Structure formats: C-alpha cells, structure tokens
Structure 1
Amino acid sequence: MGNKRRVTPTVYVSVDVEADGPIPGPYSMVSFGAVVAGWDDGEGFRRAEVGAAGFYRELRPISAEYVPEALAVSGLERAALEAGGAEPGVALQEFGRWVERVRTGPEGRRYRPVMVAYPAVYDWQFLYWYLMRFTGSSPFGHSGCLDLKTLYAARAGVPFAGIGKRSMPAELLPDLPHTHHALDDAREQAVLFANLWEWPGPGRV
C-alpha cells in the first residue's frame, strides 16, 4: 500500500484592515472587512462569487493615540468612531461566528479557514492581536495566514523585494477599485488571490 497524502480542505478568507497607526495596542484597528475567496478540497479550487456577502465592522478606538495620516487613509473620522464604532470585543466575537459559518462550504463540507491578504503582515498583526486580546482565540489558529505578495513571488519565480501590483501581469489584477474601504478591498484581494491560485505562472498556458 502506498502512502496517500492527507489533504485538509481549506477555505480562504480575504481580510483587509484599516488602522490609525503602525502597530496594534498603542494604535487602533478602525475597520475591517472579510469575504470568502474560495475553497480547496485537494481535488480542485473553487473561487467564490465576487459579490457574495461578507463581514464588515467599524470599531471604537482602544487608545487615545493615533497618526492622522494613517487614519485619513480609511476616510473614517475619529469622533464618529468614538461615538458610534462597535465595541471591539463584540465585533470580534461576531467575526469569529461568521468565520465558523463560512467554514461550511457550498456542499456542506467543513473547511479549515486560512486568512489571505496583500500584504498579510500588516492586516494579520492587527486582526490576530485583536482576536487574542478581545476573544482569547483565533479561528485561523496562530499561523493560518497566506501573504499574496509571497504567493506571487513563488509562482512568478521573482525576488520578493520590489514586488508591487504594478509589477504583476495585467491578467492577474482584479477589475475592481481599491477604495480603502475594508470590505471593498477585501473583495479586491479575494479576486487577486483566486487569480493567483489558478495562474499557471509566467509564459505558461
């Protein structure tokens, strides 16, 4: 008998974070959005619909500190977030329940959730810190994260340094705007991920 490789069915969740500074704790995650990018059961990848329902919350700041230039990127106003932003503990618990729901694929099968982002290091540090701080656990575990810049470098066979969306082939880029609204950008990332996952590489058909 040969050894059969065990494959863990995976659901890829695209997440985008907007924050008012460079690191969580001293600074705050002001909003985040998430959508399913696709499912992989080891027998094939199925991308999700671009317009499928996602998750989005704007959050009350957790610190008095913020970088005005960083906050301005999101287009959100500090006073509005302080007055009407969701409590982080409530929002992160709701997010955990949402991830639990999307773990069940279209055919009723259970999948392991993995977060994807571009670049993942910024979004992951905020989301993971908030999940652990306010809920005590992460639906992605401590390492269930895939960086799309790294995925592109591996698929294209190019050095990581200097990679940007403008350096990618046009066929990989989503026909969606990058608005810095977290849900919009999560959808854009989801399409980029699916395009990369299905891409055979440069010069291949």
Structure 2
Amino acid sequence: MVDVESDGPIPGDYSMISFGAVIVEPGLARTFYGKLKPISDAWIPDALQVSGFCREETFAFETPTVVMERFGKWLKDEIKDRPMFISDNNGFDWQFINWYFHHFAGDNPFGHSSTNLGSLYKGLVKNTRDNFKHLRKTKHTHHPVDDAKGNAEALLYMKQHLELDIKL
C-alpha cells in the first residue's frame, strides 16, 4: 500500500515531497518512508501545505535518486514476488511513483500496473457510490505512512470480512 504527498498535481513539473509504503499483512510492521528534495522550481503552496512541510524544509530532504534506489532495494528485500502497487488514489500516487522510479532509478519494480483500493471496495460491495474509508483504523493525517497504514487496514478488513480472495 502506497501513499504520496506532493507540491503539485503532476510529476516532472512538480515534486513528490514524501511517500509512505506498508506491506499489507497483519501488524503492518514493515513500512517505508521517504522525503524527497524538490526537482523543480514550480510548486503550489496549498498543495505543499497538505504535507505539513514548508518549502525551505524540503530543500534539506534527500535527493530523489537516493530515496528511490533505497525504496527499490527495500521492496526487493521485503517482497519475494513482484510487488503489487495499491493505493486509495492510484491515478495520483501511481503517476508519481512510476515517474520517479523510471526517471531516478531506471526501472519501476511494480511493473506497469496499479490497483485502486476504492474501486476494489466498490466491486466487493457491488455499489459504485460506497466508500471504504470507514474501514480505516489509523487516522488519515496526510503523513504518508499513516495514510498507507489506514488504507492497508481497510484492505485487510476486506480480505477477512468481505471474502476478498487476494494474495497479499
């Protein structure tokens, strides 16, 4: 499960500021957190504010190459098969992770696919207007590890209580 915070709507023109990942398994103990130095001069103050950081703070973060290579190694060490990318807004989160992996690490270990947690839930409950967010236990704080954990908790609930047959 992955969550991204950025200072704008698209990668390349704007920067991924931080992201979190959690291996979806009971206990949710295996997590990754990365904070990345901006890659462009463009940024939207309201977008950055969501992350809780000011622009000056972000300049002290690690370079994207270092963070993405470390994340790739973490994924390889923690997951024996190809990892599956899941997020609650994969249209947003995926574009940043995919772009940053290809641009700064040369390859995306997730491959070319992602899964949207909200769409998965809608299919399970057979209602396109229903929302999974009530299944989170961890408060949604916009700290990406907290948000990834909350979403992972919801996925574990779906697996246990809604007959979701998925290998995690």
Q: Same fold (TM over 0.5)?
A: yes
**C-alpha deviations, 1:157-196, integer Å up to 9, x for none?**
112xx44446xxx5xx122111101111111111111112
2:2 maps to 1:26: no
| 1:1-205 equivalence runs, <5 A | 14-37=1-24, 47-50=25-28, 52-82=29-59, 84-103=60-79, 110-143=80-113, 145-159=114-128, 162-165=129-132, 170=134, 173-200=135-162
2-structure distance, mates of 1:157, 1:163: 8
Residue deviations 1:25-56 (CA, integer Å, cap 9, x gap) = 1110000111101xxxxxxxxx3313x13111
Q: For the aligned residues, what is the CA RMSD?
A: 1.5
Cα separation, 1, equivalents of 2:47 and 2:105: 26
User: Considering only CA atoms, is the larger Rg found in Structure 1 or Structure 2?
Assistant: 1
CA distance in 1: counterparts of 2:136 and 2:122, whole angstroms: 18
Where is the helix percentage greater, Structure 1 or Structure 2?
Answer: 2
Same amino acid, percent of matched pairs: 39
Tell me the TM-score normalised to structure 1 length. Answer: 0.75
For residues 39-80 of structure 1, the C-alpha deviation after alignment (integer angstroms, 9 at most, x for no partner) is xxxxxxxx3313x13111111000111111111111011101
* Alpha-carbon distance in 2 for matches of 1:85, 1:91: 9
Equivalent residue, structure 1, for 2:166: none
TM-score (norm 2): 0.91
* Residue 3 (structure 1) aligns with: none
Unaligned runs of 5+ in 1: 1-13, 38-46, 104-109
- Deviation track 1:11-37 (CA, whole Å, cap 9, x = no partner) reads xxx111000111111110000111101
Aligned residue-pair number: 163
Deviating beyond 4 angstroms after TM superposition, the runs of 4 or more aligned structure 1 residues are: none
Of the structure 1 ranges 182-191 and 90-99, higher mean CA displacement relative to structure 2 is found in 182-191
Q: Structure 2 unaligned segments of length 5 or more: list them.
A: 164-168
In 1, distance between residues paired with 2:82 and 2:126? 28
What is the DSSP-based 3-state SS (H/G/I as helix, E as strand, rest coil) of the residue aligned with 2:121? helix
Q: Is the 8 A contact 2:121 2:132 kept in 1?
A: no
